[in-house]
Amino acid sequence: MRLCISIISVVLTMPLIGSAVAGTSAANPGSDDSQAPSCTFTLSKPTRVQVSGVDMVTATVSSYPCNGDTLPNKTVACVNMQGADGAGQCVQQNPQTFPAQVYFSPYRPGATYVSSGTGCTALFQPPYSACVSLGPESATL
């Protein structure tokens, strides 16, 4: 069974985290059935926030309800500063508990930040797992 990944770009407002959603992707096994089990994941664009009075950049990967016999089982959110040395910062989370939200510092005004992520789905039939890459999304903050 082949893995089919569809990517749909949308812009929505997420009142719970107060940021624009940059993209949506679904992880599902290939099938002729339009109701094939799948989960939908979203990646936010990098946004500036204050945490305990310190400016930081954040991004979030969230999962939405899945259909069929599947559950979201891993989300990873990453942020880095474009042109900077190093891999940036990433956070992994079980999406059944909370979205994956990463906080990057130091914040530098006028810099371009890039968010990326991964969303993984647990399937109850082969191939048993499907992951989709999200992003990259960028914002000059």
pLDDT band at 53 (very low <50, low <70, confident <90, very high): very high
Higher model confidence: residue 128 or residue 132? Answer: 132
Give percent above pLDDT 70 in the chain.
75
Domain boundaries, the chain: 3-140
What's the pLDDT tens digit per position in 55-105?
A: 999 999 999 888 888 889 999 999 999 998 887 999 999 988 899 999 999
DSSP readout, the chain?
Answer: --EEEEEE---EEETTTTEEEEEEEEEEE--S-TT--EEEEEEEPPEEEEETTEEEEEEEEEEEEEESSEEEEEEEEEEEETT-SS--EEEEE-TTT--EEEEE----TT-EEEEEEEEEEEESSTT-EEEEEEEEEEEE-
pLDDT band at 46 (very low <50, low <70, confident <90, very high): very high
The CATH number, out of the four listed (3.40.50, 1.10.3470, 2.30.38, 2.60.40), of the domain defined by the range 3-140? 2.60.40
